[in-house]
Amino acid sequence: MPVVRAAEAVVHELHGARFVSYAAPGTGSKELAAWRGEIPAGTKAPAHTVSREEILHLLTGSLRLTLDGIAHTLVPGDTAIVNAGTTLAVENPTGTPATMWVTTSVGLEAELADGTRITPPWAN
C-alpha cells in the first residue's frame, strides 16, 4: 500500500519506549523500515549493537545517544547516523518526552550485551 494513514500505524513497546511503525514489509515496503520512536522522560534503553545502518532524526525533546562509548546530546533537528556494527544506547535523562524518526533497511537486528538477539517487528 503506497499510503499508510496515521490510524493504520502499528504500535510496539519495548524497554519503556514506543515504536510507531509506518513503513515495513507488512505495510508494503520492500527495502526500508521507518517509525516514530517515543521515549518517555527518564527512560534508559539497554545498549545494543545494530546489524544495519540506522538514521535517527530527533523531532522533539532531547536525547543522549551513546555510540561506541561516545555520548552525544541531540536536540530537535539533529540527526545521528548509526553505522552497522555500532553499539548504541538511547537515554532520555530529561523530564520531558522525546520523539524521533528512525529509518533503516528491512532486516535490522540488535544484539544486547548478554548476546540476546532482537529482531524488532517494526523493522522486519
pLDDT, tens only, 50-63: 999 999 999 999 99
Task: Show Cβ contacts of residue 100 under 8 Å, excluding neighbours closer than 6 positions.
Answer: 36, 37, 39, 56, 57, 58, 59, 63, 74
Tens digits of residue pLDDT in 39-93:
999 999 999 999 999 999 999 999 999 999 999 999 999 999 999 999 999 999 9
In the DSSP assignment, the letter for residue 44 is: B
Q: Say yes or no to pLDDT of 1 above 70.
A: no
Provide the residue type at 120 as one letter.
Answer: P
Domain ranges for the chain: 6-123
Q: How confident is the model at residue 121 (pLDDT cuts 50, 70, 90)?
A: very high
Question: Any long-range contacts for 66-71 (C-beta under 8 Å, 24+ apart)?
Answer: 66/91
Can you spell out the DSSP letters for 56-91? EEEEES-EEEEETTEEEEE-TT-EEEE-TT-EEEEE
* 6-123 classified as CATH 2.60.120.10: yes
Question: Of how many residues is the chain composed?
Answer: 124
CB 91 within 8 A of CB 66: yes
- Identify the pLDDT of residue 2: 85
Give CA–CA dist 75/100, Å, rounded: 10
